[in-house]
Amino acid sequence: MASGVLVLNADFRAMTVFSIPKAFLLVFLDKAEIIEKTDDVVLRTVSTAYNAPSVIRLRKYVNMPFKGVMLSRQNIFKRDNHQCVYCGSRRDLTLDHVVPRSKGGNSSWLNLVTACQACNSRKGNRTLEEASMSFSQKPYKPSFLIFLRDYTKNADAKWLPYLC
């Protein structure tokens, strides 16, 4: 089952993901057109059945400022593939500051990583060098399109051509 509907601007650039009912309402109100339909979700009225949209395009261009990925606990977990960057465990996950806050570290994409409780406790209030630890991948700030493409679970394969 689809996780949502990819919304494209009038110039075919990916903007966001809407729920199926919200996207269908835009199509019904003639504010958007269906570019791709799903094969497995059907919307029914009293007299008609419609394949739900998978990708829609807005009829009018919407000026969008730069769109970044919001820094949140769940988005850090998604970036790190829901596993500890130190040992690879997928259990008892927490967030760890690479440079501890007490040593001037901030809460940013480049200073937060996913860690299991055991590794987080072992590292404690120390830097990686002080704790003799390293991670499997360096933290990075994902771009909006890469985040949509790589981290939207159950994304429809029909989205891929629009996320390049």
Cα–Cα dist 123/121, whole Å? 5
Q: Are 6 and 23 spatial neighbours (Cβ–Cβ below 8 Å)?
A: no
Q: Provide the pLDDT for residue 1.
A: 46
Q: What distances in angstroms separate CA 62 from CA 25, 33, 65, one per listed residue?
A: 17, 15, 10
Q: Domains in the chain, start-ordered, CATH in brackets?
A: 5-66 (no CATH), 73-131 (1.10.30.50)
Q: Provide the pLDDT for residue 53.
A: 93
Q: Are 43 and 2 spatial neighbours (Cβ–Cβ below 8 Å)?
A: no
Encode pLDDT of 25-75 as tens digits: 999 999 999 999 988 888 888 998 888 999 999 999 999 877 778 899 989
Q: What distances in angstroms separate CA 58 from CA 14, 63, 69, 152, one per listed residue?
A: 10, 12, 22, 21
- CA 148, distance to chain mean position in Å, is 5
Cα–Cα dist 143/140, whole Å? 9
Banded model confidence at residue 3, pLDDT cuts 50, 70, 90: low
Encode pLDDT of 94-120 as tens digits: 999 999 999 999 999 999 999 999 999
For 51-61, give one letter per residue: b (16+ CB within 10 A) or e.
ebbbbbbbeee
Encode pLDDT of 135-160 as tens digits: 888 999 988 777 776 656 566 778 87
Q: Provide the pLDDT for residue 86.
A: 95
